[in-house]
Chains A and B, each alone.
Chain A
Amino acid sequence: AQSVAQPEDQVNVAEGNPLTVKCTYSVSGNPYLFWYVQYPNRGLQFLLKYITGDNLVKGSYGFEAEFNKSQTSFHLKKPSALVSDSALYFCAVRDSRRSNDYKLSFGAGTTVTVRA
């Protein structure tokens, strides 16, 4: 079975400070990892993904994420947070061994609040 854990329900940071949103995963095979962001009253928007290759992945809006196989983690980072980054962030995983469907397993989400 595949699963994702986001250990923090909420993350609060001051504008201009680094932002980190944590994610750990569990899969049988190799993971395909994704981050999505959800703004109020909006659908989820894709931020970035890791499929293979470089462990540091760069995505939209200045976000990046680092894949760490030994720690089974895929933490989302931004060097300098903006108030507009305040939103709900979801980590998702798909097991590469699953070839017949595209079932993403999402974490419960982390609410990020960036204060001015």
Chain B
Amino acid sequence: EAGVAQSPRYKIIEKRQSVAFWCNPISGHATLYWYQQILGQGPKLLIQFQNNGVVDDSQLPKDRFSAERLKGVDSTLKIQPAKLEDSAVYLCASSFNRGTNEKLFFGSGTQLSVL
């Protein structure tokens, strides 16, 4: 089966600019997650969608980050304006449902460098 698709693979921007990432989950997966992975740290959940509704966005910096999942399929994550500390790999993941024992399928990520 096709995996989780993410684009772009790399992005370099200057601080205060805006950037957007795109994710297409595995077909049929109702739950979609965006994680931020800073170098040397484990992934941190930014936002979780169940179909097109937000389940958890408690760790999303809402003053600059936004995400949407129109039609409950693909999703975009936006940062505006970017800060130096936003430099990280942004991982998208999906799961069939949001059951407690569901395993997540991750995309290859978008590596963001903010200069």
Contacts and interface: CB of A to CB of B under 8 A. Distances in A.
B39 to A, nearest CB: 10
B55 A96 contact: no
Nearest to B91: A43
A34 B106 CA distance: 14
B108 A43 contact: yes
B21 to A, nearest CB: 13
Contact of A102 (B3, B44, B48, B107): B48
A45 B91 CA distance: 12
Contact of A108 (B40, B105, B107, B108): B40
Among B3, B43, B48, the one with the most A-chain Cβ atoms within 10 Å of its Cβ is B43
Instruction: Give the interface size class of chain B.
Output: 20 to 34
Nearest to A42: B108
A96 B45 contact: no
B94 to A, nearest CB: 11
Interface residues of A, number: 26
Contacts of B33: 102
A46 B55 contact: no
B71 to A, nearest CB: 21
Interface string A66-95: 000000000000000000000000101010
A101 B99 CA distance: 9
Contacts of A92: 42
A45 B43 CA distance: 13
B56 interface: yes
Nearest to A32: B100
A14 interface: no
A104 B100 contact: no
Residue among A32, A34, A43, A90 with the highest chain B CB neighbour number at 10 A: A43
A49 B43 contact: no
B43 to A, nearest CB: 5
B42 A46 contact: no
A56 interface: no
User: Sorted from nearest, which 6 A-B pairs have the closest CB atoms?
Assistant: A106-B42, A43-B106, A46-B103, A101-B56, A44-B106, A51-B101
Interface of A: 4, 32, 34, 36, 41-46, 49, 51, 90, 92, 94, 96, 100-109
